[in-house]
Amino acid sequence: MELRSYGDVPDVNQPRRSIMRRLKLRRANWMMWMLLIPVAGWMIVFFAFPQLLMLFISFMSQGEYGGIAYQFTLDNYIQMFSPVFLNVIWTSVEFSFIVTVLCLVVAYPFAYAIATASPRRRLFLLFLVIIPFWTSQLIRTFALMFLINTSGLLNTVLLQLHVITQPLNLLYTPFAVYLGQFYAMLPYMILPLYASIQTHLERPEFLEAAQDLGANPAKAFWKVTLPLTTSGIAVGSMLVFIPTLATFFIPLLMGGGKMEMVGNFIGNQFLSSDNWPFGASASVGVIAITLVLIALMFRFMKNAFLEES
């Protein structure tokens, strides 16, 4: 418990010895302030202050010709319950939910297949998942746009195979936005699922018990494997759901601006609609939701750790 007060998750791979060493922390001296003040100052000026400014502006009125009128109002928060905004929120939640489920359905068997490979091959297969993880998400989105646009390779191949007679308009549709987000998020689902399935498979006694008691493989999976990998499912789902909720450039690029998620909505309030105060209140709302979800995710992870120890 003492460890937790230093504000980070203990690295389970580090030997206990080094944790003991870390407890010998020094008291504040002038050197600490020298080291800490620049980074603290930077983050206060360019992160905390702009966010507080955002909170302040969210209570101001919209100016007559766009811009900000410095008059207190709660209108921006009341406006968050208008059908237009609720519709945007609903679109985002539905979108994030479907993308999360799709990722889960594809990633689970995939992660399972990696976890059951031989140890040597497993490392290589995992490495192949991590590379897209490192690759620029933006360029990966460009790659998809290039593949599915009207004169792109996919249409050319389908035309030449006479599967279709006219090029499909795939790009700049909701389908493209789903595809792009799914493509970007898949590795985030695979890795935690793999970790959790791997841990489960290292202790086969539960599965063996299920088999000894006469469960067929399907039943053993539903009653044993799936419940025991809940933590991986929960963490993976959060890692996909949270960034998807306020995704910005994927709907912009793949949807051509036609599908408006809450992230795009906020951006548009600042760029095209020129209703900064409302954009500010929406932004405050999104931060609040995100922080609550993150706290929930850590709760899940903590529970998973407790279960294991």
Looking at residues 251 to 290 of the shown chain, list those that interact with another protein (rule: CB under 8 A). Answer: 253, 263-264, 266-267, 270-271, 276, 279-280, 283, 286-287, 290
- Chosen residue from 40, 101, 105, 123 binding another protein by CB under 8 A: 40
> Is 231 within 8 Å of 196 (Cβ atoms)?
yes
Q: How far is the CB of 152 from another protein (least distance, A)?
A: 7
Query: Which region, left, alpha or beta, applies to residue 14 given φ > 0 means left and ψ of -120 to 50 means alpha?
Result: beta
Query: Which region, left, alpha or beta, applies to residue 172 given φ > 0 means left and ψ of -120 to 50 means alpha?
Result: left
Site string for another protein, 162-201 (x = CB under 8 A): ---------------------x--xx-------------x
Cα dihedral 177→179→184→187 (10° resolution): 150
Closest to another protein by CB, 35 or 78: 35
Looking at residues 221 to 240 of the shown chain, list those that interact with another protein (rule: CB under 8 A). Answer: 221
Looking at residues 137 to 166 of the shown chain, list those that interact with another protein (rule: CB under 8 A). Answer: 137-140, 142-147, 149, 151-153, 155-156
- Chosen residue from 3, 50, 101, 258 binding another protein by CB under 8 A: 50
Closest to another protein by CB, 26 or 72: 26
Closest to another protein by CB, 131 or 161: 131
Closest to another protein by CB, 90 or 142: 142
Nearest residue to 288 (alpha-carbon basis) of 262, 265, 261: 262
47 contacts another protein (rule: CB under 8 A)? yes
Mapped onto helix, strand or coil, the DSSP state of residue 196 is: helix
Q: Which amino acid is at 123?
A: L
By CB under 8 A, the count of residues binding another protein is 101
Nearest residue to 114 (alpha-carbon basis) of 103, 125, 106: 125
Looking at residues 88 to 107 of the shown chain, list those that interact with another protein (rule: CB under 8 A). Answer: 106-107
Block residue for tokens 């206060």: 44
131 contacts another protein (rule: CB under 8 A)? yes
- Chosen residue from 82, 135, 169, 303 binding another protein by CB under 8 A: 135
Q: Which amino acid is at 22?
A: R
Q: How far is the CB of 99 from another protein (least distance, A)?
A: 14
Q: Which amino acid is at 192?
A: P
Closest to another protein by CB, 145 or 304: 145
Looking at residues 51 to 70 of the shown chain, list those that interact with another protein (rule: CB under 8 A). Answer: 51, 53-54, 57
Block residue for tokens 């539903």: 222
Q: How far is the CB of 109 from another protein (least distance, A)?
A: 5
Exposed (0-12), middle (13-18) or buried (19+): which is 201, by Cβ within 10 Å? middle
Element holding 17 (H helix, E strand): helix 16-22
Nearest residue to 190 (alpha-carbon basis) of 141, 117, 239, 118: 239
Q: Which amino acid is at 93?
A: V
Q: How far is the CB of 2 from another protein (least distance, A)?
A: 12
To the nearest 10 degrees (0 to 180), the angle between helices 137-148 and 153-160 is 30
